[in-house]
């Protein structure tokens, strides 16, 4: 498996650390109801198909990436840097 890091180019999977679903980006407000935090931390769509999840270019540029890929075929459809989203949730 090879991931096309927007900064470093295509690199082998072993340079990257996997975190989990993209859900981890949508941090609820501190006072959000417990259900929102449960969904944020635990519950997942977990699709058998296209998903978006978070990878860290650990042995590269330290970028966190959102990878759009297929969990059945392992095809990678898109890679973008997390930081390029509009941040500042906290």
The site for another protein (CB under 8 A) is made up of 1-2, 12-14, 17-21, 24-25, 27-28, 30, 32, 34-35, 37-39, 41-48, 51, 53-56, 58, 62-64, 71-76, 81-90
The CB-of-7 to another protein minimum distance in angstroms stands at 12
Distances (CA, A) of 12 to 37, 59, 62, 64, 86: 34, 10, 15, 16, 28
The CB-of-68 to another protein minimum distance in angstroms stands at 12
The CB-of-50 to another protein minimum distance in angstroms stands at 11
Please state, in angstroms and rounded to a whole number, the distance separating the CA atoms of residues 63 and 83: 8
Biggest CA pair distance of the chain: 41
């Amino acid at each position: 498996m090879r991931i096309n890091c927007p900064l470093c180019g295509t690199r082998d999977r072993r340079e990257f650390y996997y975190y989990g679903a993209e859900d981890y980006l949508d941090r609820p407000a501190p006072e959000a109801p417990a259900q929102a935090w449960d969904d944020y931390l635990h519950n997942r769509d977990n699709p058998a198909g296209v998903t978006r999840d978070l990878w860290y270019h650990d042995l590269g540029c330290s970028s966190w990436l959102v990878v759009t890929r297929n969990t059945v075929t392992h095809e990678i459809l898109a890679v973008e840097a997390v930081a390029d989203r509009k941040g500042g949730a906290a």
